[in-house]
Structure 1
Amino acid sequence: MTSILAIDTSTDACSVALLSARTVRVLQEHAPRRHNQLLLGMLRELLPGGPGGLDAVAYGCGPGSFTGLRIAASAAQGICFAAQLPALPVSTLAAQVQSAIRLGLAGEGCWVLSTLDAHIGELYWALYQVVDGLPHAVSSEAACRPEALVIPGAEQVVALGGGMRYHADMTGASQARISALHDTVLPSAEDILPLAEAAFTAGAWQQAEAICPVYVRDEIRWKKLAEQGPQS
């Protein structure tokens, strides 16, 4: 049976989850700017014997908080190097849709606009459809100002996440497409697990040195180990 550790620190929530023997254990705390203080302790509590027995480590790869994404990527990279494990990057926007599925806010066939507050008056967003209980991307992840948001297609959508704080600033056409709005839903490590398990089964994993957050904005980019130059 597959055993996967998941880490997400992309928003104000700090969460870890462990899938083992078909059971899931979750630790989560709302902790703005305290992820680096909490994460290692949460990992020790979840894995008191260390990472032995794990098959892979999944992490919320973004988009989201720049600092938060670095924390999750660094933790995943360290565990994967130490235990020689593959990594499974999972979109935080897709994980947020999976949260909505678990909470009963989005069902089979539903079209879901997943958003996060990108701050500085912008939102991160992507459109998904729920197929076989998992979110399938209909659009690429993007960042834009709310008035510039153009929702692909013509279907009614369920809108999720912190980016919906800008709902009133969206065009009338975008507002008319939204049939339900749930602005308090957040991505969680628990909801990374179903997506990570599907990716692991499909062989869509990466080596530790390839771990890299997805920032969406082109001007900010994580440097992989090979790009960082000599280490002091």
Structure 2
Amino acid sequence: MRINPDFRKVAILAANEAGKALKKNFRKKINISYKKDLTPLTSVDLMSDKIITGLIKKNFPFHGILSEESGENFGKEFTWIVDPLDGTTNYILGLPLFAVSLALIKGKEPILSAIFNPITEELYLAEKGRGAYLNGRKIRVNRMNNLSRVILHFDRGTDLEGGLKMINKIAPRIRTVRFHGSPDSDICPVASGKIEGFLNSKAHYHDVIAGAFIVKEAGGRV
């Protein structure tokens, strides 16, 4: 599938510019409030969201945007799924496990995604039919077939009880399960072959769509 190269350019630009803002304000005093579900919202979330959505609107005024922070506006053909700061709690605590996440869908099908951690300076990128890349280097999932050596990352999603049941079932059979609190940061190492899998129980669409697409383009199963 041939994709407009401007889509890729804007995705990379938006991820990098938002990432710069996150890095500049990391471990500094920021304003924090809480949503109805008690998840935190910071001034930096909103700043990152403004940067990303501004660049998308400037370059693609007829595209829709679904953002965790600024709401939903589906386009007729193309819609961007944006998480301006995945791992907000980690960011507040000064833990460098967070990322900027963007995915572009055509209809209901993802065709492009970018995930950027500005602290490690790791940019994951995938395009439909063209594979997945980490800082320009093509990546693939690993083919570990020894279950006792498998490492999994886990995120509770919206169903803690269901997630814990999954963990209790599989944890005794594998090497280890790790929890980091940033779904995109946890999914990307699967795509680059550093770990073998990611588990999530009833995830929000915007929390995993970008990472899941990168894993799929890296040869993984989703």
TM-score, normalised to structure 1, is: 0.28
Q: Which has the higher helix share?
A: 2
- Larger RCO: Structure 1 or Structure 2 (Cα < 8 Å, ≥ 6 residues apart)? 1
